[in-house]
């Protein structure tokens, strides 16, 4: 089967912003990370003040 632009995809295909991760994000996912790295990023943010101290 060949799809020729007939499919309504999202404007842009988004992938996880975590470097090295090529997980494609769902159109319904408003986050910039995949579900795995989303937690990862949150942990980093949570621990950032401790590191900065
Ligand atoms: Zn990821």
- pLDDT tens per residue across span 28-46: 888 899 989 988 888 887 7
Residue 43 lies in a domain: yes
Residue 29 forms part of a structural domain: yes
43 alpha carbon to ligand 1 midpoint, in Å? 14
Ligand 1 centroid to 32 CA: how many Å? 9
Residue 31 φ/ψ region, left for φ over 0, alpha for ψ in the -120 to 50 degree band, beta for the rest:
beta
Listed in sequence order, the residues at least 6 apart from 34 whose beta carbon sits closer than 8 Å to its beta carbon are 16, 18, 21, 23, 25
User: For residue 51, what are the domain limits?
Assistant: 11-53
In a domain, 3, yes or no: no
- Reading the block at residue 16, the tokens are 């996880």
Separation between Cα atoms, residue 18 and residue 23, nearest integer Å: 9
- Indicate whether 1 belongs to any domain: no
Number of domains in the chain: 1
Q: What is the pLDDT of residue 49?
A: 66
Q: Residue 10 pLDDT > 60, yes or no? A: no
Asked if the structure places residue 52 within a domain, the reply is: yes
């Amino acid at each position: 089967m060949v799809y020729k632009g007939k499919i309504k995809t999202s404007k842009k295909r988004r992938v996880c912003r975590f470097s090295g991760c090529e997980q494609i994000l769902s159109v319904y996912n408003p986050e910039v990370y995949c579900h795995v790295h989303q937690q990862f990023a949150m942990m980093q943010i949570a621990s950032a003040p401790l590191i900065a101290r």
